[in-house]
Amino acid sequence: MTQLRTRLLALAAATACMTGAAFAEELSIMASGGAWQDAQRKAWFEPFAKETGAKILEQEYLGDLGKVKAMVETGNVPIDLVTVETATVLQGCDAGILERLDYAKIAPRDKFIEGSALDCGVGLDAYGDILAYDPTVLKEAPTSVLDLFDTTKFPGKRAMRKFPAQNLEWALMADGVTPADVYKVLATPEGVDRAFKKLDTIKQDIVWWDAGAQPAQLLASKEVVMTTAWNGRIQNAIDTDKKPFKIVWNNQILEYDMIAIPKGARNPELAYKYLAYISEPKNNAKLASYITYGPVRTDAASFVAADALPKLPNAPDHLSGAYLVADTEFWGDYGEDLVKRFNAWLAQ
Amino acid sequence: MSALQPSELDRPTLARDRSAADADLKSVSAALRRAEFGDRMRSLLLAAPLLVLLALSFGIPIVLLLSRAVYDPTIADALPKTTAALTGWNGQGLPGDDAFVALAADLKDNQAKGTAYELAKSLNARLPGARSQVLKTVRKLESADGQAALGAIKSVPFWSAPSTWPTIQNGTRSLTSFYLLSALDLRWNADGGIERVPPEQAIFIQVFLRTFFVAASVTLATLILGFPLAYLIANVPKGLAAILIVAVLLPFWTSILVRTAAWTVLLQKFGLVNDFLLFIGVTGDRLDLMYSRIGLIIAMTHIQLPFTLLPIYSVMRTIPPSQMKAAYSLGARPFTAFRRIYIPQVFPGVMAGCMLTFILCLGYYITPALIGGASDQLISNFIANYVNVELNWEMAAALSFILLVFTLALFGIFARVLGLDRLKLV
């Protein structure tokens, strides 16, 4: 809640500052705030500013593109770069509000992990959708994210993101679909029915979360016994707030954070320079030292600090069990429809 | 107006005949009307800056946004050749090869102009899964011309699926009822009639009903809590009344976000309310107040209380206590006096307060988002979702439009039954 409040305040402040963000060597970056933006500042904003002499203007937003769409449609785009989720990149690309990127100015496209270099967005980091729990509350340790669906072994409320993505995939996997077939099954109406039927079995026990900071709060206030979450947020609660939480990696879903250039940005050349800078393997690996999200360059692993490596979602240890890579094309296709169906299901 | 009586005007012309007097009267009242018209114009002129501001900042944007609900030219603009080729098609089976050729040409044009993605998204809103099919076809067409293009487009099964072409034909009409129908859980069926969407997709009617139900519950709760309090404030000595008013207004001066956040602290499972209930032994177990309908109604009632209370209080203040005493002295029992003397007089204030709260509740967004559970989201939450997350502003406009119509209709019924002039807003 404090998080949301700070964000809204920051949003107001950001709007107030916008008018001043138009000078040539200023790079205006809008990110979704919190511990993640702090990490980017230390890993990238500050070193880049030092190296190029450019001034970085930071803004915050809640991660939804409505604001950017309004900027592009009114022809007043005071930002040069915006961080987005993969599904949002596709949407923004389709709606014509994000620039289609020229990878010649960034880095060779084949050096990125598959699915992390898209037409309108380039990957920043890899994060995991994982299961977190508090071992002081839960006597027996869950061994897989799919234990969400086992209410006899793990009774009590569980928190899940109020969004169909990940939940439908986990529901199918819990129902016996192999990770390789998940999206094939989910593309059929029967598959969607099957996933919802599986979710039905635990519907009464679910508390839904919206903002990334909520899962840690829900665990801390003992509102739930386990929760799905983004790994970095939980790790942050463990490292910074000294919470006793534990992360379950088995059956995690891997996703990428993206950064994009909105159409009509005032300083696209500097924006490209920034993208090239953070896409260098050495720099790409730097973020992991400040938040536990992994690099997206295939050749960056060797640059990751030794103490950070074991906490990353794409560390070898965490990919030894079952895992799924989120299919952004699938969510671009069926996202809107499944969100509607999901909301209808929630309301029933 | 009433100062000029015909009899006074007529005094110097008593000798004249009646028709002349009538004519005079007419010219006087015409002059009066002119003068009144001038007055009205002058006051209108004074209010003009406000009216212009309202029109520019409120009226026009609302109309422009709402027009998106019925006007969506994306597909028609993107597929001009296909639109032409489909004009004679009856919507049965598949159209002729000329439509496929036209579509191939249109898709290539879109790729060249960089609008293929917008087309794909717009089509996808009507036909889930269309997005990747359009983009796939566009990529296939890059190296194909003429007959090869026809072959390429026919090799994608999507373009021969039964629902594809009727959807395209529907989409080529810029004036569309698609979004408004969707907002009412309706759709066109294959025979050109209107039908309900399947139950697992039907959502908005339920959400509208829920929104009205929550608004009505909150209105009733604020009335039950607010009426006695307003009575108390209106009937205690001035000093105490001032303190009570400040107590009512204090939360009114804090931001709605802060008040909502405060309620999450109170209502959560290990929060103060649960601690207290457990302590006094009302409940045996901790209640799920957060993320529930009851928690939402509690928080909204708290936020809305001043809106209901203040109009009631302002009316109660004007009722002299002597009236009730007079009723008693004439033999009325307390309840009869209350019912027949007091209630009719405070009624306009009650109605004004209730209507204010009811209409404000219809637009609640933050409180349901933070305190309500998944099945307690109101229509504003869905509108916000379509604006911010789905980027489907057409759907958002359609939902807003329906909400506006429902609200105005309710207001209309209300005004009809009770009479607008009886409303007293503060």
pLDDT of residue B420: 64
Rounded-to-integer distance, Cα B238 and Cα B159, Å: 77
A317 pLDDT band, cuts 50/70/90, is confident
Q: Which residues contact A284 (CB under 8 A, 6 or more apart)?
A: A278, A295, A296, A297, A300, A303
Tell me how close the Cα of A26 comes to any Cα of chain B, in angstroms. Answer: 27
Asked if this assembly's ipTM is beyond 0.90, the reply is: no
- In the chain, the amino acid numbered A36 is W
pLDDT of residue A19: 42
Tens of pLDDT, residues A42-74: 999 999 999 999 999 999 887 788 889 889 988
Locate B25 and state its tokens: 């009267």
pLDDT of residue A18: 46
Mean pLDDT computed over every residue of chain A: 89
B218 and B389 Cβ atoms separated by less than 8 Å: no
Tell me how close the Cα of A46 comes to any Cα of chain B, in angstroms. Answer: 30
Mean pLDDT of the A297-301 span: 90
Whether A40 shows a pLDDT value over 80: the answer reads yes
Whether A79 shows a pLDDT value over 80: the answer reads yes
Whether A336 shows a pLDDT value over 60: the answer reads yes
Find the angle CA(A172)-CA(A173)-CA(A176) to the nearest 5 degrees. 90
Q: Which residues of B touch A62 (CB under 8 A)?
A: 388
Q: What is the DSSP letter of B376?
A: G
- In the chain, the amino acid numbered A124 is L
Whether A1 shows a pLDDT value over 50: the answer reads no
B168 and B123 Cβ atoms separated by less than 8 Å: yes
Mean pLDDT of the A110-117 span: 91
User: Any chain A CB within 8 A of the CB of B326?
Assistant: no
Rounded-to-integer distance, Cα B70 and Cα B398, Å: 8
pLDDT tens per residue across all 426 residues of chain B: 444 444 444 455 455 566 777 777 788 888 888 888 888 888 889 999 999 999 999 899 889 989 999 998 989 999 999 999 988 888 888 888 889 999 999 998 988 887 888 888 888 888 888 888 898 888 788 777 778 888 888 888 899 888 889 889 888 888 988 899 999 999 887 677 889 988 878 889 999 999 999 999 999 999 999 999 999 999 999 999 999 999 888 888 888 888 888 998 899 888 899 999 999 988 888 888 888 899 999 999 999 999 999 999 999 999 998 988 999 999 999 999 999 999 999 988 998 899 999 999 999 999 998 898 878 889 999 999 888 887 888 999 999 999 999 988 988 887 787 766 666 554
Q: What is A2-126+256-319's CATH number?
A: 3.40.190.10
Mean pLDDT of the A17-27 span: 57
pLDDT of residue A56: 95
Which residue is it, tokens 């009650």?
B350
Q: In chain A, which residues touch B (CB < 8 A)?
A: 1, 4-5, 8, 62, 64-67, 69, 91-97, 100, 162, 187, 193, 196, 206-208, 210, 221-223, 329, 332-334, 336-337, 339-341, 343-348
Rounded-to-integer distance, Cα A176 and Cα B339, Å: 67
- Crossing angle between the packed helical segments B393-418 and B343-362, to the nearest 10 degrees: 170
pLDDT of residue B287: 85
Rounded-to-integer distance, Cα B110 and Cα B79, Å: 8
Q: What is the DSSP letter of A227?
A: E
Report the CATH superfamily, name and number, of domain A128-253.
Periplasmic binding protein-like II (3.40.190.10)
pLDDT of residue A295: 94
The per-residue DSSP string of A287-344 comes to GGGTSS-B-SBTT-GGGS-TTTGGGSTTSGGGGSS-EEE--HHHHHHHHHHHHHHHHH
Tell me how close the Cα of A342 comes to any Cα of chain B, in angstroms. Answer: 9
User: Any chain A CB within 8 A of the CB of B198?
Assistant: no
pLDDT of residue B423: 61
Rounded-to-integer distance, Cα B379 and Cα B372, Å: 13
Rounded-to-integer distance, Cα A92 and Cα A99, Å: 9
A219 and A142 Cβ atoms separated by less than 8 Å: no
A128 pLDDT band, cuts 50/70/90, is very high
Whether A17 shows a pLDDT value over 60: the answer reads no
User: What count of CB pairs under 8 Å joins A to B?
Assistant: 108
From the list A284, A310, A313, the residue with the least C-alpha distance to A297 is: A284
Rounded-to-integer distance, Cα B250 and Cα B258, Å: 13
A301 pLDDT band, cuts 50/70/90, is confident
From the list A18, A26, A23, A100, the residue with the least C-alpha distance to A67 is: A18
pTM of the model: 0.78
Mean pLDDT of the A242-263 span: 94
Domain with CATH 3.40.190.10 in chain A: 2-126+256-319, 128-253
For residue B272, what are the β-bridge partners?
A: none
Check CB contact under 8 Å for B117 and A96: yes
User: Any chain A CB within 8 A of the CB of B210?
Assistant: yes
Q: Are strands A323-325 and B186-188 parallel, antiparallel or unpaired?
A: unpaired
